[in-house]
Amino acid sequence: MTRDEAKLLLGLFRPDQDDPADPLFAGALSLLATDAELAAWSEREKALDREMRDAVRDVAPPSGLRDSLLAENKIVRPSRFSSAPWLVPALAIAAALAVLISLASLARPVPVATDPALAALTLRIPALTGAHDHAKSTAGSLAPLRSWLAEHGGSSGFTVPKGLQNAAGVACEVTSVEDRKVTILCFDLGGKRHPHLYVVDTHGIKPGADGRPTFFQIDGVSVASWSQGGLTYFLAERASLDAVRHLL
């Protein structure tokens, strides 16, 4: 397990809720005990969590807020806003909480799934995407690639997003992440665009909502991820999130 993979798992671990013996966290906790740099990072994260928790505690609701809320009609009309003296401070509290939540989301990466292989793959996507601009070998039918992938332990029954179906070229390979096979497809869209599609067989685990893509960015790479038919997909490109979204 790398240090970055351990950070991702430690960010999910809650000492008052999670079991340290859980295989999902055991490796990261073991590395934490022996890696001084990782331990220092963990202490900084804990300090940030404490600061955010204390900041929220310091936000005091206006006096009488509860009674004012209960006294209001169930249907709130815009014309009544000016007659609610509690509204302005309440909105200030909501805005402060929104800022704190935004800071929390920036403090650590948000994993696509808690499965160790998918979490590890998420962290490796920038490096893998930068190392495989080689989509020149095949154009047209994917049948030869599917056959090769099947012979080498990759996923061959994948579905290609509509924005990639007319690519000028596509190449493939198979790698392993946390003992799970990952199929890599690199597409040539012209104009130096080489989006990558990573496919993982996730039969038997629940990696996320079926069919609905999740979008995020990691180290300058925009990623769409979704699960369908027992496979989990990561579509990644060094481009904007909109550019990736338009490929689906």
Q: Are 210 and 126 in contact (CB under 8 A)?
A: no
For the stretch 131-178, pLDDT in tens is: 765 545 555 568 888 888 888 888 889 999 999 988 888 888 888 888
Question: Angle CA(70)–CA(63)–CA(98) in degrees, nearest 5?
Answer: 80
Q: What percent of the chain has pLDDT over 90?
A: 17
- Band of the pLDDT at 238, cuts 50, 70, 90? very high
| Average pLDDT for 98-124 | 61
Determine the pLDDT at residue 108: 42
Please state whether the predicted TM-score (pTM) of the whole model is above 0.85.
no
Residue 232 or 98, more confident:
232
Determine the pLDDT at residue 78: 47
* Closest among 245, 239, 221 to 162, alpha carbons compared: 245
Q: At residue 219, does pLDDT exceed 70?
A: yes
Tell me, what amino acid is at 228? Q
| Average pLDDT for 114-143 | 74
Q: Which residue has the tokens 């800022």?
A: 99
* Closest among 18, 5, 13 to 45, alpha carbons compared: 13
Query: Which residues are CB-neighbours of 114 under 8 A, at least 6 positions away?
Result: 12, 24
Q: At residue 101, does pLDDT exceed 80?
A: no
For the stretch 191-206, pLDDT in tens is: 888 899 999 998 766 6
Q: Are 3 and 31 in contact (CB under 8 A)?
A: yes
Question: Angle CA(107)–CA(112)–CA(114) in degrees, nearest 5?
Answer: 95
Q: Are 135 and 187 in contact (CB under 8 A)?
A: yes
- Band of the pLDDT at 117, cuts 50, 70, 90? confident
Determine the pLDDT at residue 73: 54
